[in-house]
Amino acid sequence: GRGKLVGAPLEKILKDSGIKVEVADRKTPDLQAATLQADVIITATGSPAILYPAMIKQGAVVVDAGVASEEGRTIGDLAPEVYERQDLTITPQKGGVGPLTVGALFENVIRAASHAAKS
């Protein structure tokens, strides 16, 4: 989708870099058909297990940036069975994209502090 935290900013960055981007969301008529076309899937819906193994083509790269809570535990957008597929390159369930978020946060804090010091 084009969410403010991941989807829209990432779409802009990738398109500005000349990368072809197809955006899908819950309203996509045939989500499985869309995901089966993708070499790279970046998901950040916050909907537990929205993507299951049959929705991902062989050899794809999958980045799960989704965060949801189910029965008191934090989970992503991928069904657990997706991690059993040996042909996929997938971000780890724990520590996947979280460290990148922390790094980006610190970068923004440093920029803000530098800007404030110059004012």
pLDDT in tens, the chain (119 residues): 888 888 888 999 999 999 999 999 878 999 999 999 999 999 988 888 899 999 999 999 999 988 888 888 888 899 999 999 999 999 887 767 766 776 777 788 898 999 899 98
Residue 6: the pLDDT is 87
Residue 69 pairs with which residues in a beta bridge?
A: 74
CATH of domain 7-92: 3.40.50.720
Q: Is the dihedral of CA 9, 12, 17, 19 positive or negative?
A: positive
pTM for the predicted model, two decimal places = 0.80
Domain spans in the chain, listed from the N-terminal domain onward:
7-92
Residue 98: the pLDDT is 67
Q: Is the dihedral of CA 49, 39, 15, 65 positive or negative?
A: positive
